[in-house]
């Protein structure tokens, strides 16, 4: 929602103890979002076949069709009856100040789904991406991944503030990769008391984004700096981090070099920030490959082979056994 004025003109500083204001907005736009869905959407664009393993409300039907059209598998997405899908309501004024309300809805029930559920073939899971669901859901999923020996990306992001240092450290210890922005990374360090070296020992890969300055990766005692891709414009940073994570997943599950993997994340991110809304962008693999070459040079032969074959890659291959069919689940 866009308010054609300034919040400051309607809020009296000496009356904030009894605040009651109403804003007449001039435009209303509904956009699809949510971390797990954003990551899944971008993985679909990148030719992967992610499974969205999440809890949603009875209003999910239209969103389901949207995600499935891009290649996201929603068969294990659980609908919670008498509940709405998590929603965010944002009002922005002419100075880009925002007033936001977030309703978690069905997200509060993420502990209702489990990798140990009979409907889930845990042996077929190649990778799990643990995003910022409820703290209880994050703890449960990371514990189950560790117990079942499933590699996972750990990206609690917005929920870091709601988790204790002990809870965060428990998720870090078994992670295959950790992904965060620089602010979240410092929050994790402050809450856990862990040094960058400690975190890098827990996880095989640690990716930290730095906004317009790119990102860096800690891997096997080495820091690899990743340059940013060049955006044509910057419309909205929302969803850029989710797109970056999807690009990184694309690289790691296909065994691309770490420098290439980080660059895939950089490029995927700029597509997102060039549009209003985290799922407003589209591109073909051919367009992605051409823009990668413009920014960083040629892509790996494996990516170009996937492009030439024009087939969606395995149900996301991963790790040391890249030829085996497996799947990535996104929470």
Q: Over the chain (331 residues), what is each successive 10-residue block's mean pLDDT? A: 85 79 86 92 94 93 95 92 91 83 89 83 85 89 93 93 94 94 94 90 94 94 95 90 96 92 97 94 94 92 66 34 38 55
15 belongs to a structural domain: no
What local confidence, expressed as pLDDT, does residue 178 receive?
A: 96
Instruction: Report the C-alpha gap between 182 and 196 in whole angstroms.
Output: 12
What local confidence, expressed as pLDDT, does residue 314 receive?
A: 39
Cα dihedral value 276, 188, 132, 148, nearest 10: 140
Given 112, 182, 198, 242, the catalytic residue = 242
41 belongs to a structural domain: yes
- Cα separations (Å) of 106 from 52, 69, 99, 331? 14, 23, 22, 13
* CATH number where 276 lies: 3.40.1190.20
Instruction: Report the C-alpha gap between 194 and 200 in whole angstroms.
Output: 10
Residues 6 or more apart whose Cβ sits within 8 Å of residue 138: 130, 132, 156, 159, 163, 167, 171, 331
Tokens of 204: 């095989």
C-alpha angle with apex 172: 167 to 173, nearest 5 degrees? Answer: 100
Note down the domain range covering 158: 34-86+107-283+314-330
Contact 53/113 with Cβ under 8 angstroms? yes
Instruction: Report the C-alpha gap between 291 and 297 in whole angstroms.
Output: 9
How many C-beta atoms lie closer than 10 Å to residue 230's C-beta?
Answer: 11
How many C-beta atoms lie closer than 10 Å to residue 198's C-beta?
Answer: 13
What local confidence, expressed as pLDDT, does residue 330 receive?
A: 58
Beta bridge partners of 224: 217
294 belongs to a structural domain: no
28 belongs to a structural domain: no
Find, among 7, 84, 39, 96, the residue nearest to 250 by Cα: 39
Tokens of 94: 């002419």
Which run of H or E residues covers position 88? strand 87-92
Tokens of 174: 């078994």
Instruction: Report the C-alpha gap between 260 and 16 in whole angstroms.
Output: 51
What local confidence, expressed as pLDDT, does residue 15 receive?
A: 74
Tokens of 59: 């209003």
2 belongs to a structural domain: no
Q: Is the dihedral of CA 45, 50, 51, 56 positive or negative?
A: negative
Find, among 69, 95, 116, the residue nearest to 7 by Cα: 95
What local confidence, expressed as pLDDT, does residue 307 receive?
A: 65
Contact 78/112 with Cβ under 8 angstroms? yes
20 belongs to a structural domain: no
Instruction: Report the C-alpha gap between 28 and 16 in whole angstroms.
Output: 27
Is 236 catalytic? The answer is no
Residue 136: helix, strand or coil by DSSP?
helix
What local confidence, expressed as pLDDT, does residue 323 receive?
A: 27
C-alpha angle with apex 218: 217 to 223, nearest 5 degrees? Answer: 85
How many domains are contained in the chain? 1
Residue 91: helix, strand or coil by DSSP?
strand
Find, among 37, 46, 41, 42, the residue nearest to 284 by Cα: 46
Residues 6 or more apart whose Cβ sits within 8 Å of residue 170: 139, 142, 143
What local confidence, expressed as pLDDT, does residue 23 receive?
A: 85
Contact 55/107 with Cβ under 8 angstroms? yes
289 belongs to a structural domain: no
How many C-beta atoms lie closer than 10 Å to residue 147's C-beta?
Answer: 12
Instruction: Report the C-alpha gap between 260 and 263 in whole angstroms.
Output: 5
């Amino acid at each position: 929602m866009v308010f054609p004025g300034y919040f400051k003109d309607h809020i009296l500083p000496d009356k904030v103890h009894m605040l009651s204001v109403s804003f007449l907005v001039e435009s209303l736009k509904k956009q699809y979002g949510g971390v797990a869905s954003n990551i899944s959407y971008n993985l679909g664009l990148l030719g992967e076949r992610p499974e969205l393993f999440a809890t949603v409300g009875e209003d999910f039907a239209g969103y389901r069709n949207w995600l499935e059209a891009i290649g996201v598998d929603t068969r294990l997405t659980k609908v919670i009856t008498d509940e709405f899908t998590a929603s965010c309501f944002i009002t922005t004024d002419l100075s880009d100040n925002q007033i936001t309300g977030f309703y978690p809805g069905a997200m509060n029930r993420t502990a209702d789904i489990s990798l140990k559920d009979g409907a889930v073939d845990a042996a077929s899971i190649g990778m799990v991406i643990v995003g910022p669901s409820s703290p209880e859901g994050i703890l449960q999923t990371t514990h189950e991944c560790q117990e079942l020996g499933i590699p996972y990306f750990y990206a609690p992001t917005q929920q870091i503030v709601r988790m204790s240092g002990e809870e965060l450290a428990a998720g870090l210890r078994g992670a295959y990769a950790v992904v965060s922005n620089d602010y979240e990374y410092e929050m994790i360090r402050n809450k856990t008391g862990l040094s960058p070296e400690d975190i890098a020992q827990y996880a095989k890969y640690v990716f930290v984004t730095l906004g317009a300055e790119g990102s860096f990766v800690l891997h096997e005692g080495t820091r690899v700096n990743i340059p940013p891709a060049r955006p044509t414009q910057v419309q909205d940073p929302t969803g850029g981090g989710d797109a970056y994570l999807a690009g990184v997943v694309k690289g790691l599950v296909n065994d691309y070099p770490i420098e290439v993997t980080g660059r895939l994340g950089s490029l995927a991110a700029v597509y997102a920030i060039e549009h209003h809304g985290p799922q407003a962008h589209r591109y073909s693999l051919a367009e992605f490959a051409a823009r990668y070459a413009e920014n960083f040079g040629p892509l790996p032969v494996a990516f170009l082979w996937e492009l030439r074959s024009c087939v969606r890659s395995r149900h996301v291959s991963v790790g040391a056994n890249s030829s085996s069919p497996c799947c990535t689940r996104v929470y």
